[in-house]
Structure 1
Amino acid sequence: MKANIVEKQSDQQSVNIFQKRRQQKLFWTGMLYLSPALLFLTVFLFYPMFKTLYFSFFQTAGAGIVQGFVGFDHYIRLFNSELFLGSLKSTFMFVLYTVPTGIVIALALAVIASEKLKGIGFFRIIFSSSLGISVAAGATIWLFFFHPTLGVLNNILSIFGVSSIKWLTSSSWALISVAITTIWMNIGFNFIILLGGIQNISEELYESAKMDGAGYWRQLLSITIPLLSPTLFFVSVVTLINSFQTFGQIDILTGGGPSNSTNLLVYSIYREAFYNGRFGYASAQAIILFLIILVFTIIQFKVGEKRVHYQ
């Protein structure tokens, strides 16, 4: 009897050792497959992040050579700098201009393009056309639109007797002009995602609503928008992050001017690092921008997910 018990325990131990070895083998096999991605992320994501955090606590020379530890001095200087606080304000205003407006316009276009009308495919191509245009090309196009004398926008305004607007050279209009350009650039992506979400909604729901006497607007508000909420949530998160990281159109259209009215945080980081050679100061701004995006994203997930309705 005791021999049988000992034999069973020995067999169980052998099984446990075999399972443990098998799990280890599967783990290292998985790590082997993941190693190229992990290497890529380490070189291009994790290392730059930790290096940025490291630089933010040190004074650096023009070539990024560390000269001495300064602690939180860069952060204290930032929040005592009118230039940085102005950049922070401009960034929040820019996000406020671009995110809600861009999502609403893209949603309206997606609703229109989801209708079963003759030739609607042509309009779907037009609505999504900005998706295939690079930031540099798109900003250059709008650079001609905003031209004070030859620009299309001012020529249209002159038809209605409205005086020309200094779109890019006025501190009152420059941020709005960049926001218009950014909204146009983001519409293509948002439109494609929202249109896909609308087309994924079952037609049976609309047919049942019609049988109950629901009109077009009732169907839109009671079926389309609630069932599209997961897609809207995704689009809002992505658009918010992209707005905080806007750079290309600012560099081409305004260069941060006039009077630093379009000197958003990303562009301010670029100028401090590569124009002024203050990598530590720029790194502190980058950390602050990262924290701002992180906080807003967490708020979106905490608040937004409560309003998301899954089918």
Structure 2
Amino acid sequence: MLKSPASDSTSAPINRAETKAKIEASEKAFSLNAKDKYYALLFLGPSLLILGIFIFYPMFKTLYLSLFLTNTVGKPTVFVGLSNYINLLTSADYLNSLAVTMVYVLAVTALTIALGLLLASLASKKIAGIGFFRTLFSSTMGVSVSVAAIFWLFIFNPSTGFLSLISTWLHLPAIGWLTDPTWAMVAVIITTVWMNLGFTFLILFGAIQSVPTTLYEAASIEGASSRFQFFHITIPSISPTLFFVSIVTLIDGFKSFGLIDLMTKGGPTNATNMLVYRIYKDAFYSGNFAQASAEALILTVIIALFTLLQFKVLEKRVNY
């Protein structure tokens, strides 16, 4: 039915009034949102200031210094562009440190996750006295780097160390744990895995405890073996946690410094001269802050690439 002109004329003021009310409501909402933004900035301001001073400024300062030559106190002198990066990537010593770091990181990551998963699986068993072993497995979380280094230096001591005494008792040839290049790397890997094992065990143990028991009961009814249950129930169920642990462990491996400094000083013959320890020596021993800055940025890129690779490869196998 056609509307009369009179009805159109009466509805127009109502529509204008509704439109005006909507505009006022939206302006009020916008003013509230702007007010919320000020409050958010007020609360975030201190954190942003701290991040700017201690994170972003050093990062840009490192990038700036890597493009110059510097004097012994870190002041830039001559702009050289990418020469510091080119010199590093064509240096046999730096490439050796890079290779040593890769071996160390991959070994530490693989062994830490494998042993942590094994211990977490064993600790999930309902047997007498398992609480003591759960505490024992996670106890390394409370050990500092310096204490761990002293403890393992005593074990690896060539004359009075625990391993040396066992070798003598079994009439085995003595091993230079910290003097032989190959065994020094093994010693550092063992110590790092021992240090990381408590955290990894605790995280994986919590993940295994959260797996529904009904899945295992149904598998047992179907006659599935313990091995089948582990690889087809436990691993897929805790895959997000495994993914998280693998990323954290790999990044921590690249950043290892304390144990290297206290146990081997990068030796013998640069066999344990990791990238982070090399940055420390170049900056604070040699006074070459420009080269150390370039090394720090290269290490940042390497960590980012490995993390991205893990996301691309491992995330596809994660069951959320």
Structure of higher CA gyration radius: 2
Aligned to 1:178: 188
Aligned to 1:144: 154
Tell me, yes or no, if structure 1 residue 14 matches structure 2 residue 21: no
Tell me, yes or no, if structure 1 residue 111 matches structure 2 residue 121: yes
Aligned to 2:52: 42
Q: How far is the alpha carbon of 1:155 from its aligned partner?
A: 1.6
Tell me how far apart the structure 1 counterparts of residues 264 and 272 of structure 2 sit (CA, whole Å). Answer: 7
Tell me, yes or no, if structure 1 residue 248 matches structure 2 residue 270: no
Tell me, yes or no, if structure 1 residue 87 matches structure 2 residue 128: no
Aligned to 1:281: 291
Aligned to 1:239: 249
- CA contact 2:106–2:250 (8 Å) conserved in 1: no
Tell me how far apart the structure 2 counterparts of residues 274 and 70 of structure 1 sit (CA, whole Å). Answer: 21
TM-score of the superposed pair, with normalisation by structure 1: 0.96
Q: Which amino acid aligns with 2:126?
A: K
Q: How far is the alpha carbon of 1:118 from its aligned partner?
A: 1.0
Aligned to 1:207: 217
Alignment gaps of 5+ in structure 2:
1-8
The superposition leaves residues 25-74 of structure 1 with CA deviations (integer Å, 9 ceiling, x where unpaired) of 11221222222222222222112111111111111122221212111010
233-242 or 10-19: which moved more? 10-19
- CA contact 1:57–1:70 (8 Å) conserved in 2: yes
147-156 or 103-112: which moved more? 147-156
* 4+ runs deviating over 2 angstroms: 1-13, 157-161
Aligned to 1:303: 313
Tell me the secondary structure at the aligned position of residue 181 of structure 2. Answer: coil
Percent identical: 47
Aligned to 1:155: 165
* Residue from 37, 40, 43 that aligns with 1:33: 43
The superposition leaves residues 220-270 of structure 1 with CA deviations (integer Å, 9 ceiling, x where unpaired) of 111111111111111100000000110000000010111111110000000
Tell me the secondary structure at the aligned position of residue 273 of structure 2. Answer: coil
Q: How far is the alpha carbon of 1:157 from its aligned partner?
A: 2.4
290-299 or 14-23: which moved more? 14-23
TM-score of the superposed pair, with normalisation by structure 2: 0.94
Tell me the secondary structure at the aligned position of residue 109 of structure 2. Answer: helix
Q: Which amino acid aligns with 1:26?
A: D
- CA contact 1:97–1:176 (8 Å) conserved in 2: no
Cα-Cα RMSD: 1.2
Q: How far is the alpha carbon of 1:213 from its aligned partner?
A: 1.5
Tell me how far apart the structure 1 counterparts of residues 93 and 236 of structure 2 sit (CA, whole Å). Answer: 42
* Residue from 221, 228, 231 that aligns with 1:221: 231
* Residue from 86, 98, 112 that aligns with 1:76: 86
Tell me, yes or no, if structure 1 residue 193 matches structure 2 residue 239: no
Tell me how far apart the structure 2 counterparts of residues 204 and 243 of structure 1 sit (CA, whole Å). Answer: 37
- CA contact 1:52–1:287 (8 Å) conserved in 2: yes
Alignment size in residue pairs: 310
* Residue from 265, 268, 282 that aligns with 2:278: 268
Q: Which amino acid aligns with 2:141?
A: L
